[in-house]
Amino acid sequence: MTAATFTIAFPPGVTVGKWTRAFAQRHPDVALEVVRTSVADQQRLLHDAHIDMGFVRLPIDPDGLHVIPLYSENVVVTLHEEHLLTLEKSIVLADLADESVITGEPDEATLRAVAGGTGIAIMPQSIAKALRRRDVVAMQIEDAEPSQVALAWRDDATNPLIDEFVGIVRGRGANSSRTPEVAAAEVAAAVTARAARNAAAAKAAKAARAAKGAKAAAKSPARTSSQRRQTRKPGRRR
C-alpha cells in the first residue's frame, strides 16, 4: 500500500521545523515533504496543486485560496558596513530616497552586491539574518510596513490533513476537530484584532517620532542624507 503524501512549501526566512516535527509525530504513516520555494513561485505552486499547503509572504492573490495570516516581522535595510547611514541611530524611508536600491528577491547574490558597494537592499529581517555577512549591516526601517507571513491552501482542497496541519500551527490539541473553513474564520478574527492593536501602536509610535522630529527641527535645521554625506570626511571607519 502506498503511503499518503503531504507536501508543504515555505519561502526564505520562514522557519517551519516546529510545526512539521509535530505533524510527523502525529502522522508517522504520512510521507511529509517540505520544500523551499521562492516568493515568486508560491502562488503558482498552490494553484497547480504541486503542494498541499504553503507558508507564503503577503501580499498574495487570495482568489481560489484560503489564506490565514500568521505573523508579521520587521523590514530592514542592508548596508555596506562603512555606509554613512550606519552611523544613524534610526532609519526611516526618507533616508533612503537618494540611495541605489537593489531589487529582486533577496538572496546571497544580493548581499554580495551590497558588500561590493553596488547599492542597498530592503528585505524582511529574518532573511537578512539568514543571509548575514560580516561586512553588511542590517538596520530596521522604522516606518516601513511589516512583512506578513501567512498559511495558504486551495479552497477546493479536500485533503483532511490540511485541517490537521492548520490545527498544529494554531496550537490545537491532537484530539480537537475543526474544518479548514472554521479554522480560517477563527484565525482571521484573531488576526484582525491583533492588526487593530498593531495599527494603534504604530500610530502612537509615528506620533512620537513626529514630535521628536519637530523638537529637533526647532533646535537646528534638518539635514538630508545627501547633506550628511557632504559633511562627513572621506575615509574608512576604524
With CA atoms as reference, report the closest residue to 96 among 114, 109, 73, 72: 114
Residues of the chain with CATH 3.40.190.10: 5-72+147-198, 75-145
Q: In what order do the strands lie in the sheet with 75-80?
A: 121-124, 75-80, 136-140
Tens of pLDDT, residues 111-163? 999 999 999 999 999 999 999 999 999 999 999 999 999 999 999 999 999 99
Mean pLDDT, range 167-176, rounded to an integer: 74
Q: Which of 151, 127, 119 shows the shortest CA–CA distance to 51?
A: 151
Domain 75-145 superfamily per CATH: Periplasmic binding protein-like II (3.40.190.10)
Rounded distance between C-alpha atoms, residue 161 and residue 159, angstroms: 5
The CATH architecture assigned to 5-72+147-198 reads 3-Layer(aba) Sandwich (3.40)
pTM confidence score: 0.70
Q: Which 8-state DSSP code applies to residue 2?
A: P
